[in-house]
A and B are shown apart, each in its own frame.
Chain A
Amino acid sequence: EAQVTQNPRYLITVTGKKLTVTCSQNMNHEYMSWYRQDPGLGLRQIYYSMNVEVTDKGDVPEGYKVSRKEKRNFPLILESPSPNQTSLYFCASSSQGAANTGELFFGEGSRLTVL
């Protein structure tokens, strides 16, 4: 089954404790991206990756890091989480071929609470 898998789905942590949210897709997609969703603000792009070893900032990259060492994986790293990073996080991927619209396939989301 084609899917985007995020882990953990739910996490409560404390300020300053480094954490990683993993994202893996099995569709051989070139493009992957991370979003956070907050009430009234919609989805905001954190980072995106056009392919392996190619990453770039979205609109809200501060406090986050990413890496793309393999095509299927795109982890989101919070080196020193703060309460304002409490949010619902979505990972998404898409194919970038000329015949594709580039529609995004989303993971189920990771709800993160930073105390």
Chain B
Amino acid sequence: GQNIDQPTEMTATEGAIVQINCTYQTSGFNGLFWYQQHAGEAPTFLSYNVLDGLEEKGRFSSFLSRSKGYSYLLLKELQMKDSASYLCAVRASGGSWGKLQFGAGTQVVVTP
């Protein structure tokens, strides 16, 4: 199985940078995802990491260290619309490739 931990809530000011950490313990690993979920809506895909390193996509970047079981999502130039829950998810490997486990989510509150 897998344990996925991420902070419950973070608050940051508009225009600032916020880093959301995710740690995981896994018996098999085949990729890590970040999703964004606004209140009352379905999650939407943000990023995918399967190799170590940083993936940058506009204002959002995601980093992975497989040896440390660690990832972070970096949100730059925060906007009010970035207020949402951010979900870290880990995909299993091998025969359980279809299994996907999510962390409980980090609620990011952006203040003016």
CB atoms of A90 and B104 under 8 A apart: no
Give residues in B with beta carbon < 8 Å to A.
Answer: 1, 31, 33, 35, 41-45, 48, 87, 89, 91, 97-105
- Once the chains are docked, how many angstroms separate the CA of A50 from the CA of B100? 12
Q: How far is the CA of A35 from the CA of B91 in the complex (A)?
A: 14
Q: Are A106 and B103 in contact (CB under 8 A)?
A: no
Taken together as a complex, chains A and B put the C-alpha atoms of A110 and B91 apart, in Å, by 24
Interface string of A36-59 (1 = CB under 8 A from B): 000011111100111000001011
User: Are B99 and A48 touching (Cβ within 8 A)?
Assistant: yes
Q: For window 55-88 of chain A, which residues contact chain B by CB distance below 8 Å?
A: 56, 58-59
* Chain A contact surface mostly: strand
Residues of A in contact with B (beta carbons under 8 Å apart):
31, 33, 35, 40-45, 48-50, 56, 58-59, 90, 101-109
In the assembly, what is the distance between CA of A33 and CA of B98, in Å? Answer: 9
Are A58 and B33 interface neighbours, CB within 8 A?
no
Q: What are 22 A-B pairs with beta-carbon distances under 8 A?
A: A40-B104, A42-B104, A42-B105, A43-B102, A45-B99, A48-B98, A48-B99, A49-B98, A50-B97, A50-B98, A58-B100, A90-B42, A90-B43, A101-B45, A102-B31, A103-B45, A104-B35, A104-B43, A106-B42, A106-B43, A108-B41, A108-B42
Q: Please, which residue of chain B has its CB at the minimum distance from the CB of A101?
A: B48
Q: Shortest CB–CB separation between residue B86 and chain A, in angstroms? A: 11
Q: Is the CB of A101 within 8 A of B31?
A: yes
Specify which of B1, B48, B99, B104 is in contact with A103 (CB 8 Å cutoff): B48
* Inter-chain contacts of B41 with A (CB < 8 A): 108-109
